[in-house]
Chain A
């Protein structure tokens, strides 16, 4: 009953990166139409959490459910087909492929009029529309981030998991991505999980926040309101 609204549900996963035990019993969930963040210091395992969800670094124990289906041992392409779109911190735009080819590789038909298509991406991101034939590798950092997000949207996913969208971008670009791209995604009802070190950005876009401790577990869950009213929570968890 309760699980029905959870697009993503993680129960006590344990993930190793080589011999190091990175994620030690992490549990969390994301409900439909919700934007959730995972906040934590550098190196606590935020990226590994996303890689476990995506099947790139599968967890050794515990369970991951996508829309109620257990996907813990699924390969990445199957998890993608379950409706998970991944935006890695490095963006991973394919060099040698045009902007359009980068998008079309990910395109998957969606339901109804609101489905994302190449035209709709171009309408909403005019910068990409001007550069459809250009090699994706020649785009600027901000444009590549936009393309990576566009590539996630065009697969019409159930959830987008995004790793440090602010990484390597100037404050101005971070603001642009936050205000123009992410807030727009949220308004259009997309379910999102964002991993960030930049808590200011996370507070602007997400409604619920998981604070990650140094042992790769969740130490606190808080709403945006709670974190804004009690800045000492972030202070004690995120600052050095």
Chain B
């Protein structure tokens, strides 16, 4: 343990890691909301499925980085199944229908997790080169946590490239503004909604396997993350990707610093912060929130 500088560096890096996980989960939730006006209450459970799937893949001998790619694909497939069975048939109904259905989905997935993996916490074994610590500015920081920051940055960079440079990305951005006009250009909005749900699910899965080695994997992790990602997208403005980035950083830092200094009140402080921000900025910190 270093001096006070070391502690600050340590907490700051931890804040960034937490912000990054929040961001990936929240952006997944936001993509689905922004394109389809669906608030997926099962999103946290998909995050947990990502972590558990990653755990099983690594436990069966797969390389962690291979699992980092395969687990989100599996979660994406689960998302596709969910979208086809319970989301797509409700497309023309009010948001309340999917809200209730996905609330049920959350319990269903939580139950499946307990059925498959049990109630015991699980741990993902990391490859040797990611174990251990590295010395940064007077603190010994875990190599894996540092690597996580780069993985998160790479995922966000990849997502931005996808949204800005590919045809599908351009369709998704257009659909988040004037969906009716997108359909008038010959694009089947059913596929856009399906793609948005799958992409959102993949994001939840990625976050799950990234967070897996950082925390213990247990049946409660999904519910906790669902609430945190709600806080992030509400503060950032529903459907706003830029807002989510700022909100994820804000909540990641506030929560991590609060946990260090006043552990028991950390979450209370997060919710008070959210209440204050919403009172003055109901459309989020950038005023870009979309709700009807």
With A77-B189, A104-B170, A105-B170 in contact, is A96–B177 under 8 Å at CB? Answer: yes
With A104-B170, A105-B170 in contact, is A94–B186 under 8 Å at CB? Answer: no
- Are B185 and A95 within 8 A (Cβ)? no
- Are A77 and B177 within 8 A (Cβ)? no
- Are B186 and A80 within 8 A (Cβ)? yes
With A97-B170, A105-B174 in contact, is A92–B186 under 8 Å at CB? Answer: no
A105 CA / B167 CA spacing, docked (Å): 8
- What is the minimal beta-carbon distance from B241 to any residue of chain A, in angstroms? 10
A151 CA / B188 CA spacing, docked (Å): 18
* Interchain CB contact (< 8 A) of A105 among B185, B188, B189: B185
- Are B178 and A92 within 8 A (Cβ)? yes
What A residues does B177 contact at CB under 8 A? 94-97
- Are A76 and B184 within 8 A (Cβ)? yes
| In the complex, A3 has a CB within 8 A of chain B | no
A54 CA / B182 CA spacing, docked (Å): 12
* Interchain CB contact (< 8 A) of B188 among A54, A77, A86, A101: A77
* Interchain CB contact (< 8 A) of B184 among A54, A101, A104: A54
- What is the minimal beta-carbon distance from B159 to any residue of chain A, in angstroms? 16
- Are B173 and A92 within 8 A (Cβ)? no
Interface residues on A, range: 20 to 34
What B residues does A105 contact at CB under 8 A? 170-171, 174, 182, 185, 187
A96 CA / B178 CA spacing, docked (Å): 11
* Interchain CB contact (< 8 A) of B185 among A75, A96, A155: A155
- Are A56 and B184 within 8 A (Cβ)? yes
Number of B interface residues, CB 8 Å? 17
A84 closest partner in B (C-beta): B184
What A residues does B171 contact at CB under 8 A? 105
| In the complex, A131 has a CB within 8 A of chain B | no
| In the complex, A108 has a CB within 8 A of chain B | yes
Task: Encode A89-107 as 1/0 by CB contact (under 8 A) with B.
Answer: 0001011110001001110
| In the complex, A81 has a CB within 8 A of chain B | yes
- Are A97 and B184 within 8 A (Cβ)? no
B171 closest partner in A (C-beta): A105
| In the complex, A165 has a CB within 8 A of chain B | no
- What is the minimal beta-carbon distance from A67 to any residue of chain B, in angstroms? 15
What B residues does A86 contact at CB under 8 A? 184
With A56-B180, A94-B177, A95-B177 in contact, is A101–B170 under 8 Å at CB? Answer: yes
| In the complex, A150 has a CB within 8 A of chain B | no
| In the complex, B135 has a CB within 8 A of chain A | no
| In the complex, B160 has a CB within 8 A of chain A | no
- What is the minimal beta-carbon distance from A116 to any residue of chain B, in angstroms? 14
| In the complex, A216 has a CB within 8 A of chain B | no
What A residues does B174 contact at CB under 8 A? 94, 97, 101, 105
Q: Which 6 pairs between the two chains have the least Cβ-Cβ distance?
A: A80-B186, A92-B181, A76-B183, A94-B174, A106-B185, A86-B184
Mind listing 30 A-B residue pairs with CB under 8 Å? Answer: A56-B180, A56-B183, A56-B184, A76-B180, A76-B183, A77-B185, A80-B185, A80-B186, A81-B186, A86-B184, A88-B181, A88-B184, A92-B180, A92-B181, A94-B173, A94-B177, A94-B178, A94-B181, A94-B182, A96-B173, A96-B177, A97-B177, A101-B174, A104-B167, A105-B171, A105-B174, A106-B186, A108-B186, A151-B185, A155-B185
